[in-house]
Amino acid sequence: MSTPMVRIGAVAHKEFRHLWRDRRLLAIVLALPIMQLLLFSYAISFDVKDIPTVMIDQDRTSMSRHYVSTYTSSGFFEVVGQTSNVNDVDGIFARGEASVAVVVPAGFGEDLAAERKPQVAVLVDGSDPNAARIGSAYATALNATYGQQLTAAWANRQGLDPSSAGVIEPRLRTWYNPDRISSIFLIPGLIVAIIAIVAVQQTAVTLVRERDLGTQEQLMVSPLKSWELMVGKLLPWTLLAFLDIVVIVALGRVVFDLPMRGSLSFLALAAALFVFCSLAMGLIISAIAPSIEVANIVGLMLAFLPSFLLSGLAFPLGSVPTVLNWFSYLFPARHMVTISRGVFLKGAGFAELWPQFGWLCVYAVVAIAIAVVVTKKKARS
């Protein structure tokens, strides 16, 4: 007589051999998290710098040249071209050659020498709102500073002291991630997205595949109980999901200097709960989906998209419409991202994160219960 453990082991062994035979799939599943890590750590930056800028200096005096040089030296703007005609700007923007144009009209130097207020214009291409918002803020600040210097020099000559009015000086402190390195911010969230992809999508598809190929019935007539079959089938993907987590955390710690300020065991516990939620979700999808294509798309819609967009991984959820904000709480990914980031960056533990942890527990219980019910129903029909 075989025990449940032996039978589960046999299924898991079979599943592993499937995976091992499908080297390409295995390679992709293992390479995917590494590629994501590299992409998100190296390519994404929330800072905007070196905005391509074209200079239209119609004054051509030493004063206008000095004014123009402040853009280059600020580091935010990169002068990519010069032109003398303002009408060229439309073409330059339309071709995407530059996204900021600075116009210094003739008479700039003369006005300055006569202590008047010369006009300058900064044109910003609004078709990339992120870059445009930051570009116009930098330009405004740069001009304000330049203007203040002029005013201060004048006030000095007049014997006035504007600073005697008392000024407030902002002292900026960025907690947890003082250099605002985007990889440090993104990697804790990426772990969640990767679990969602591997655990939900893969389990959903593997189970439907068995049914599609007709091997499901063969397994049903074996002495396997249906829960043993499920556990055995899910085991390899659970291990792979954990392997992916370990790879990402290790790479993050070693290559990207990701700090680990909280308790690793608390994180591991939460991650395990999240993996169970995801596996249960995969099971539910597989029970409902009639074909691999459907399982695939439902997996994309319920795991891939929400874990990237509704979890707070890269996009803050504070300014989204309230309905959507509430909706995001329906997905365990949102709580897991909060936990992961809290543990890695803030050193938070159960005391701070108990609400999120509690929600994960609730999800795990509910999702597993639903999964058991629907798979039983499916097996009977």
Residues numbered 211-270 forming contacts with other proteins, rule: CB under 8 A: none
Task: Name the amino acid, one letter, at 84.
Answer: S
Rounded to a whole number of angstroms, the minimum distance from the CB of residue 223 to other proteins is 28
Residue 35 or 379 with smaller CB distance to other proteins: 35
Q: Which of 86, 219, 268, 320 binds other proteins (CB under 8 A)?
A: 320
Q: Which stretch binds other proteins (CB under 8 A): 215-223, 279-287, 314-322, 373-381?
A: 314-322
Smaller CB separation from other proteins, 223 or 321: 321
Q: How far is the CB of 272 from other proteins (least distance, A)?
A: 22
Spatial separation of the C-alpha atoms in residues 135 and 133, rounded to whole Å: 6
Query: DSSP letter string over 211-233?
Result: HHTTHHHHHHHSS--HHHHHHHH
Q: Name which of 13 and 116 has its Cβ closer to other proteins.
A: 116
Euclidean distance between CA atoms 33 and 149, whole angstroms: 51
Q: Does 207 bind other proteins (CB under 8 A)?
A: no
Residue 48: exposure state from Cβ atoms within 10 A (0-12, 13-18, ≥19): middle
End-to-end CA distance of the chain: 29
3-state SS assignment for residue 313: coil
Segment interacting with other proteins, rule: CB under 8 A, options 4-12, 125-133, 249-257, 358-366: 125-133
CA dist 285 and 40 (Å) reads 28
**The one among 123, 241, 245, 249 contacting other proteins by CB under 8 A:** 123
Give the binding range for other proteins (CB under 8 A) out of 56-64, 230-238, 294-302, 370-378: 294-302
Question: Which one of 177, 216, 226, 263 is in contact with other proteins (CB under 8 A)?
Answer: 177
Nearest to 132 by CA among 209, 51, 56: 51
Residue 358: CA atoms inside 13 Å, Cβ hemisphere, count?
A: 5
Determine the Cα–Cα distance for residues 285 and 212; give it in Å rounded to an integer: 15
Contact pick of 106, 239, 264, 324 for other proteins (by CB under 8 A): 324
Among the listed residues 14, 81, 146, 263, the single contact to other proteins using CB under 8 A: 146
Among residues 185, 276, 331, 359, the one that binds other proteins under rule CB under 8 A: 185
